[in-house]
Amino acid sequence: MTIIQAVHFNRGLVACLVAATAVATATGCGPNTGTVKVTGTVKLTNGRPLPGGRVILTGGPAGANGAIKSDGSFTLGTFTTTDGVKPGSYTVTIVGAAEPDTRSYDERIQGIGKEPPSLIAKKYTSAATSDLKVEIGKGPNVLNLSLEPSPAGAAEPPAAE
């Protein structure tokens, strides 16, 4: 095979691969994951937005999770960070919802000092004890979660509006 014949052969191979990829994507073998958009907010019962942590959905057709922003808002994802959730019934857990850790990296690694206190009641940190249940339906879903604060955080005043 000459160099010119090899170049023409490779062009044909590339064209076939591109065409096969387009057919596979159009027929359902592509990125259609069956997920629906899920956004929401997490607030404590005293009205204060939860300023961080992660919302996790378990028990449905596929788990999902999303980071809680400083204003308490979140967007959930299953395969990517914000691609949505498959419709179904889920238990909600919240992890990492604590006051900021002011210890240095070395102090945290060595276990020096105390971990910051949780902002939420412990029951929300495990699927076995969480009483938060949600049903994700077809189409966009908005979850507004209200959590009991931890005993240490119960004395904090509500957020100013």
CATH 1.10.760 fits 38-147, yes or no: no
How big is the CA angle at 41 (ends 39 and 45), to the nearest 5 degrees?
Answer: 155
70-108 per-position pLDDT tens digit: 999 999 999 999 999 999 999 999 998 888 788 999 998
- pLDDT, position 2: 55
Q: pLDDT value at position 100?
A: 79
pTM of the model: 0.71
Question: Alpha-carbon distance 158 to 161, whole Å?
Answer: 9
Say which DSSP state 47 is in: S
Q: Give the Cα separation of 68 and 42 in Å (integer).
A: 8
* pLDDT tops 80 at residue 135: yes
Query: Is pLDDT above 70 for 7?
Result: no
Confidence tier at 21 by pLDDT (50, 70, 90): very low
Residue 113 to residue 109: CA distance in whole angstroms: 10
Q: What is the pLDDT of residue 116?
A: 86
Q: What is the mean pLDDT of residues 120-134?
A: 96
What is the distance between the alpha carbons of residues 3 and 87, in angstroms, rounded to a whole number?
54
Give pLDDT, residue 57.
98
Mind listing the pLDDT tens digit for each residue in 35-84?
999 999 999 999 999 999 999 999 999 999 999 999 999 999 999 999 99
Say whether pLDDT at 153 is over 60.
no
Separation of alpha carbons 151 and 45, rounded Å: 12
The average pLDDT across 1-24 equals: 47
Residue 144 has pLDDT above 80, yes or no: yes
